[in-house]
């Protein structure tokens, strides 16, 4: 029984590691792109100025540089939208 329990536990760990971790539930629109249930990480905008529509369950953070570099300019909470003239990326925290 111990060997079987070890195999089952190992399989469960392997499957959970292969599944991407969702950071948010809902829809996040950045520029012209829409992300459903976005994973944690940085998302660059494809247009200027940067538009964010946050229909997720968490607050996202807007950065002045691409790849979430530079200063964090603002936060966009759940159910909120905003436009940023001097921003290039959005971080979905995990």
Give residue-wise pLDDT tens across range 23-50.
Answer: 899 999 999 999 999 999 999 999 999 9
The reported pLDDT for the residue numbered 21 is 61
Distance CA 66, CA 46 (A): 10
CA distances to 24, 33, 44, 52 from 30, in Å: 14, 5, 8, 5
For 14-79, list the strands marked E by DSSP. Answer: 26-30, 33-36, 41-44, 50-56, 60-63, 72-76
Least Cα distance to 30 among 44, 16, 20 occurs for 44
Domains with residue ranges and CATH for the chain: 23-92 (2.60.20)
Beta bridge partners of 85: none
């Amino acid at each position: 029984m111990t060997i079987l329990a070890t195999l089952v536990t190992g399989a469960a760990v392997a499957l959970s590691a292969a599944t991407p971790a969702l950071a948010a539930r809902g829809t996040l629109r950045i520029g012209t792109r829409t992300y459903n249930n976005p994973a944690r990480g940085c998302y660059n905008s494809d247009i200027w100025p940067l538009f964010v529509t946050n229909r997720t369950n968490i607050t996202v953070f807007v950065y002045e540089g691409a790849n979430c570099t530079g200063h964090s300019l603002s936060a966009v909470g759940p159910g909120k939208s905003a436009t940023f003239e001097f921003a290039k990326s959005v971080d979905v925290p995990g």
